[in-house]
């Protein structure tokens, strides 16, 4: 097995483990990955109409409707009417939604710290750069085929 394949294997394993880890954490606060993603966008970009959310999440507007339905049902967000355009409604985090979102950010920070502690301090930054380079390449590969 070449080093490249070993690398790919390791990345795939990390991917799986990370995904599992995040999903269980999300489930603990009552969120699914897709809904958490939407909450994340609300945190970083503020209250928005569903169209804008659909663009940022790269899914269809119809799908956003369903995600917001669930988040609204569970009390994480509300749909506020937009006075300037009665077609659109603004999706806004509730207090509880903001709480949970803050928890997610904290969890992410903590996980970053735990990962950094696995390796010698000096190597973490370089590793981040290398992994970023890999990500760039893969994005390039996928984009080039577009």
Pairwise CA distance, residues 67 & 35, whole Å: 6
The count of chain residues that interact with a second copy, using the rule CB under 8 A, is 50
Closer residue to a second copy in complex, CB, 90/104? 104
Min CB(33)–DNA separation in Å: 5
106 binds a second copy (CB under 8 A): no
Q: Which residues contact 31 (CB under 8 A, 6 or more apart)?
A: 39, 76, 100, 104
CA atoms within 13 A on the CB side of 63: 13
19 binds DNA (CB under 7 A): no
Report the partner that residue 102 touches, choosing among DNA, a second copy, none (CB closer than 5 to 8 A by kind).
none
Contact string (CB under 7 A) for DNA, positions 27-56, x = contact: -----xxxx-x-----------xxx--x--
Closer residue to a second copy in complex, CB, 8/45? 8
Two tokens, residue 128: 């981040």
In angstroms, what CA-CA distances link 44 with 20, 34, 135? 24, 16, 22
């Amino acid at each position: 097995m070449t080093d490249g394949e070993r690398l790919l294997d390791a990345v795939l394993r990390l991917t799986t483990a990370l995904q599992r880890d995040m999903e269980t954490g999300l489930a603990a606060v009552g969120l699914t990955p897709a809904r958490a993603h939407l909450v994340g966008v609300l945190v970083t970009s503020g209250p928005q109409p569903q169209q804008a959310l659909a663009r940022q999440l790269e899914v269809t507007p119809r799908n956003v409707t369903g995600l917001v339905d669930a988040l609204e049902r569970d009390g994480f967000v509300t749909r506020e009417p937009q006075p300037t355009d009665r077609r659109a409604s603004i999706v806004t985090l509730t207090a509880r939604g903001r709480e949970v979102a803050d928890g997610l950010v904290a969890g992410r920070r903590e996980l970053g710290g735990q990962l950094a502690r696995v390796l010698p301090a000096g190597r973490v930054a370089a590793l981040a750069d290398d992994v970023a380079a890999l990500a760039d390449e893969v994005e390039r590969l996928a984009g080039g085929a577009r």
